[in-house]
Structure 1
Amino acid sequence: MMTLCRTSFLNQDDIDWVRRFLADSPFFRSYFEGALEGLRAGADNRYVHIGRDRQGVILGFDFDGLTAFSPVGRLRDQELRLLAACPQRLELQLASSDAPMMRALLGERIEMTLDQRLYERRTAGATWFPEARRLGPADLAAVSLFSRVHNPHTVFSAWMLELPFLAATDGDGIVATAGTLARTGDEAVIGNVVTRADRRGRGHARRLVESLCALLAREGVATVHLLTTSDNAPACAVYDAAGFAVAGRFCQMDVRPA
């Protein structure tokens, strides 16, 4: 019986195979290596399914209240059905070729389908701005409240504050954030780029993203990746201005619980 297994179930041969398979996919490789680093730190919150034909893999990630899955490569139909059988709230990152089948399998569970852009940039030359403040676990309550109030659709989990996470603040508290989702070797994935509605249009997001790239560069990261959707024009403008370029596209499918 095929299942979606936690990363902790992989043996060394499986780990080595996934690494070789993802060698030319730095964004997904960063997620996988981040899963292994998290596992060494005691966090077993990722899934991996190796395709029976060894031509594809499914990567999964548990956030608070949501699980994200990314099928990579070629998988059998019954392997994609594993995703449709998951009863929890899902966010799927799909190749365009996999989207029609998932639409048919998930039906009315689909809340929305979006065009997702994968951006990347080299960290060399990134600028640190004085308004950026690095947060940590002690800031959990403030960041959680900010996320819930100002962008409830953004996924935030406490473990993210263990990685480089920045905020801009004023007398009323946090006005903008940008954080790291995964980091391994010289690659990182960032996200949680959120600005309070009354402070948008002032460059906070661009400066925090630049500062985060500068901080990661000091910690040995050479390339940064992030995801957003094509309909989020303000975010796309921020990333363009911060030196990012589109490196790929996916179909994002948001799925309600069964």
Structure 2
Amino acid sequence: MTLNQLFQSLISYIPATNMNMRKAYQPDEIIAGVQYDIFSNTTNKNVAVFSVDNQGKLLYFSVEDEILKPSNYTLKRDELIEKASHFVKTFYPEMYKNCKLASFLKLGNAYTVHFAYQDEQLHLFLPETGVTLFLTKSGKISTIISFHDKNTNIHYPDVMISAEAAKKQYLHHLEPELLIAPMDTYYINNNGKFRLVYSIIERAFYIPADRGEIYVQKDAIKQIPFHKPEKVKTLKRIYTISLV
């Protein structure tokens, strides 16, 4: 697909008319590849941006928020995945053939659909492979981020521990901290009162499957309690706590 063919295909996903493209005057350093702006011939304002690698493959595509007019119509999950799948089929035919649906997430009024490669041995999804698509609830494509390099060097252990053994190691690295916290509307069983609770500090992020050293977080973030007792005692009476 030539650059002009790519442009002509992309503008079909932009809810605007009379558009053209130009090389980005102020490219975003975060976006990989050579960047191009898609702009309105009428207003000369940018309506979208895309980038390509040195082989002309699409790396990134994003439509300006003001162009994506809000809609009260919401597509169903399968319909949104179909919209995303059609985009992948058009611009990434090799990924469409070999990638699988890895995740579907709702983020506020938007959705993300991620297609990724799987390893051949365990059929697990490979990180940072495939393509991630952001869609509005009505199915409009807002942003595309692709990962073309799928050469992931994976270390497969000769012997793997069981999931139950991994669970025990994970629990061993949990640290409960007694504190007073408000049970507000964030929680399902909220009652608006301050309660004496244990906050769980998670230190082990990953449990190696090969019995290796556990990946422990260097600086676990602790919640600052309203009050932390020096000693934990069994409470036989209920008191009303007033915090100023």
Using structure 2 for the length normalisation, give the TM-score.
0.27
Using structure 1 for the length normalisation, give the TM-score.
0.26
Which structure shows the higher helix fraction?
1
Higher relative contact order (CA 8 A, sep 6+): 1
Q: Which has the larger radius of gyration?
A: 2
